[in-house]
Amino acid sequence: MTLEAWLVTDVGVVREHNEDSAFMEPAKGFFIVADGMGGHAAGEVASAMAVDTVRKTLEGARTEIDAFKKAPSDAGRRGIVQLLQNAVLSAHQAVYQRGQAEPDKAGMGTTLDVVLVAGPEAFVAHVGDSRTYLIRDGKPSQITTDHTVAEVLVIEGKLTIEEAQVSPLRTILVNAIGVSADVGVEMAHVTLKKNDRLLLCSDGMHDYFPAEDEIAQRLSADAPGKALEEMVELAKTRGGHDNITGVVCQVLEVSEGIPMQMEGESTQPVEVPINPFAVDETTETAFVTPPGVPPRMVAAVTPPTLRQTQPMRAITEDPIPGIPALPKDAKAIDTPATDSDGKATANTDGAAEPAAKQDTGSGELSKADTDKAEAPKDKGAG
């Protein structure tokens, strides 16, 4: 497997600090993007901690990953999924415990997208509203779903995708790393083909590329790295209200000699072994129960229910068979509108109305609306 990859992160044109963190190591198949939130430098701390924890966990599992590459099997596949989930849960625990222990970091959190490429297979773990896209043959697929109130409303049929794209509710997370005791990890699996591109990006980028086709068109260029740089500049030109981070990985050559049954172009639901929408009751991103949405939908949802209702768009020619739903201490929790530290106030009166205007004051609701961060960033490149 030969991969080439590029990483660009930019503070944007409005914010003073970059709370995004990212890491990649193409030789090992590691790609990570995290978008932190929280005042007093906490956002940067949270995203950097998450990236660091995942990176170290994956590095510590080199033997297992290498063994899977040499002899892929369903059992090995399940092991990799478990490994990735554990890495994300470790990151969650690290961020959450530090947030609990240090008052100035209370409520801090982060999104987290991790792609682990092992042989021709990409394993994706996702929490929050950063995104991972697959671009294949010039066509885009958003592999991940946004863990936001807006997405929940889309699932419930209360908002159209177009309305959700401009709704301020798109910035309110219902699931994040480190914010509350519980977290759900969304998993996806893609068997890569030559010339595929993967894009991991924070919302500061995808907010300015609402048309997936534009993303696909740009990144399908012969020089994806240059295209990525241009996309970051375009995001700034288009507003740059938030930190902008993108990691692009291009598959130059696919491993040979591993028999895979990967033919077929069908798009299938991906396995989601764990509830992506976990309880998230205290965050400056504001956790709310949108009107008309059953609390269970925004709070603790049993994984089977969610799996049935969530419109997964992942492409996977090879769903991982037999992966059981992870045990999860999902507990139903009342979900009053919270305003944990005054950072954000969510008013969802207009939730079910068409969001006609782009300028909906989303700044008040944005999880990125807290900055003042000073901590150094982990944005290493490999």
Nearer to Ca ion among residue 107 and residue 204 (C-beta): 204
Nearer to Ca ion by Cβ, of 46 and 368: the residue is 368
CB of 266 to Ca ion, least distance (A): 33
Asked if residue 203 binds Ca ion (CB under 5 A), the reply is yes
Q: How far is the CB of 202 from Ca ion (least distance, A)?
A: 5
Residues sharing a CB contact under 8 Å with residue 205, sequence separation 6 or more, in sequence order? 231, 232, 235, 244, 245, 246
Nearer to Ca ion by Cβ, of 118 and 169: the residue is 169
Report, in Å, the least distance between residue 107 CB and Ca ion: 16
Total residues belonging to the chain: 382
Q: How far is the CB of 243 from Ca ion (least distance, A)?
A: 5
Which of 204, 246, 290, 303 is the binder for Ca ion (CB under 5 A)?
204
Residue (of 277, 85, 115, 86) closest to 189 by Cα position: 115
CB of 245 to Ca ion, least distance (A): 8
Closer CB to Ca ion, residue 9 or residue 57? 9
Give the shortest CB-113-to-Ca ion separation in angstroms: 12
Q: Which is nearer to Ca ion, 196 or 242 (CB)?
A: 242
CA separation, residue 242 to residues 235, 349, 362 (Å): 9, 25, 12
Least CB distance from residue 20 to Ca ion, whole Å?
Answer: 7
Smaller CB separation from Ca ion, 196 or 371: 371
Q: How many CB atoms lie within 10 A of CB 302?
A: 13
Which of the ranges 135-143, 169-177, 194-202, 292-300 carries the binding residues for Ca ion, by CB under 5 A? 194-202
Task: Tell me whether residue 158 or residue 241 sits nearer to Ca ion (CB atom).
Answer: 241
Per CB under 5 A, does 368 bind Ca ion?
yes
Using the minimum distance from each CB to Ca ion, give the nearer residue, 26 or 204.
204
Residue type, 56: K
Interface segment toward Ca ion; rule CB under 5 A; list 59-67, 173-181, 275-283, 363-371: 363-371
- Comparison of 83 and 150: residue with beta carbon closer to Ca ion: 150
Find the binding residues for Ca ion in span 225-244 (CB under 5 A): 242
Choose the binding region for Ca ion from 192-200, 223-231, 353-361, 367-375 (rule: CB under 5 A): 367-375
> Among residue numbers 49 through 108, which ones bind Ca ion (CB under 5 A)?
none
Q: Does 273 bind Ca ion (CB under 5 A)?
A: no
Residue 95 CB, nearest approach to Ca ion (Å): 16
Q: Which of residues 2-41 bind Ca ion (CB under 5 A)?
A: 35
Q: Which residue's CB comes closest to Ca ion?
A: 368
Q: How many residues bind Ca ion (CB under 5 A)?
A: 6
Minimum CB separation from Ca ion for residue 290, in Å? 21
Three-class SS of the chain: CEEEEEEEEECCCCCCCCCEEEEEECCCCEEEEEEEECCCCHHHHHHHHHHHHHHHHHHCCHHHHHHHHHCCCHHHHHHHHHHHHHHHHHHHHHHHHHHHHCHHHCCCEECEEEEEEECCEEEEEEECCCEEEEEECCEEEECCCCCEHHHHHHHCCCCCHHHHHHCHHHHCECCCECCCCCCCCEEEEEECCCCCEEEEECHHHHCCCCCHHHHHHHHCCCCHHHHHHHHHHHHHHCCCCCCEEEEEEEEEECCCCCCCCCCCCCCCCCCCCCCCCCCCCCCCCCCCCCCCCCHHHHCCCCHHHHHHHCCCCCCCCCCCCCCCCCCCCCCCCCCCCCCCCCCCCCCCCCCCCCCCCCCCCHHHCCCCCCCCCCCCCCCCCC
318 part of the interface to Ca ion, by CB under 5 A: no
Q: Is residue 46 a contact partner of residue 38, using CB atoms and an 8 Å limit? A: yes
Q: Does 371 bind Ca ion (CB under 5 A)?
A: no
Choices 135-143, 229-237, 315-323, 360-368 (CB under 5 A): range interacting with Ca ion: 360-368
Closest separation in Å from C-beta 182 to Ca ion: 22
The residues near 223 (Cβ < 8 Å, ≥ 6 apart) are none
Return residues touching Ca ion (CB under 5 A).
35, 202-204, 242, 368
